[in-house]
């Protein structure tokens, strides 16, 4: 899978993809992440990519021309399954969306900045608009990192244990059950006996019950 990310401040994305699971995914050749500097595609002086909004108002708006220049140049060598705009007014990102996007071959993410982008670009180029939550960030770079991580870890072969991602929270509309590791007893706090029983059927039943009770307590909306 290839994920291309267009950003006004590409240096913000140096860290998230250089460590841990995302780095291993790239080292294995299973995921390629390319961060593209939007300023390389502007024809305006001083690498300008934004301007004042028509009609007045606070803030600046990302201009359509640099964005179209960048997308059309990238499309010369690649067909994108989706062109995703990261924006607070997009569809809220969730696990099922991550699952679906992980099956794609090529994704392009556009990081919003300032007060947003010219609506004409959204109307004619963007195929999917995504938000990672009901709050506003300084730009879409952190949101792009979140999507890339959530999608990339689902690619077969990225995680050492193929079943690990399938047991994550939200995969079956349930939160994950509590987990324990050594020591068995710490300050008189014991690991639940069932986990030490070696009876895999009972263990799975316990985990499922714990998932249901935890979801009911913390996220009852998921059970609906």
pLDDT in tens, 45-99: 999 999 999 999 999 999 999 999 999 999 999 999 999 999 999 999 999 999 9
CATH topology of domain 169-223: 1.10.1270
- Is the pLDDT confidence value at 166 over 80? no
CATH of 2-152, one of 3.40.50.970, 3.40.50.720, 3.40.1280.10, 1.20.950.20: 3.40.1280.10
CB 136 within 8 Å of CB 90 = no
Strands 106-111 and 2-7 turn out to be parallel
Tell me, yes or no, if the two domains 2-152 and 169-223 fold the same way: no
- Nearest CA to 108 among 60, 62, 151? 151
Domain ranges for the chain, please list them. 2-152, 169-223
**Structure confidence at residue 49 (pLDDT):** 97
Question: Where residue 121 falls among pLDDT bands split at 50, 70, 90?
Answer: very high
Alpha helices by DSSP H, listed for the chain, are 20-27, 64-75, 95-101, 119-124, 141-152, 200-218, 220-223
Question: Where residue 167 falls among pLDDT bands split at 50, 70, 90?
Answer: low
Q: What is the pTM of this model?
A: 0.89
């Amino acid at each position: 899978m290839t994920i291309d990310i267009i950003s006004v401040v590409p240096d913000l994305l140096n860290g998230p993809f250089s460590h841990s699971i995302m780095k291993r995914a790239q080292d294995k050749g299973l995921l390629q992440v390319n961060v593209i500097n939007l300023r390389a595609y502007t024809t305006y002086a001083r690498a300008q990519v934004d301007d004042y909004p028509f009609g007045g108002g606070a803030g600046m708006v990302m201009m359509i021309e640099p964005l179209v220049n960048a997308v059309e140049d990238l499309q010369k060598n690649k067909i994108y399954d989706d062109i995703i705009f990261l924006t607070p007014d997009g569809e809220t990102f969730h696990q099922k969306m991550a699952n679906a996007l992980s099956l794609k071959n090529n994704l392009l993410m556009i990081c919003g900045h300032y007060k947003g982008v010219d609506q004409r670009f959204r109307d004619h180029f963007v195929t999917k608009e995504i938000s990672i939550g009901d709050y506003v960030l300084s730009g879409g770079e952190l949101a792009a990192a979140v999507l890339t991580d959530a999608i990339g870890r689902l690619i077969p072969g990225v995680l050492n244990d193929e079943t690990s991602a399938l047991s994550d929270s939200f995969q079956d509309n349930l939160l994950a059950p509590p987990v324990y590791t050594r020591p068995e007893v710490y300050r008189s706090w014991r690991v639940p006996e069932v986990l030490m029983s070696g009876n895999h059927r009972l263990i799975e039943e316990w985990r499922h019950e714990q998932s249901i009770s935890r979801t009911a307590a913390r996220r009852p909306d998921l059970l609906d």
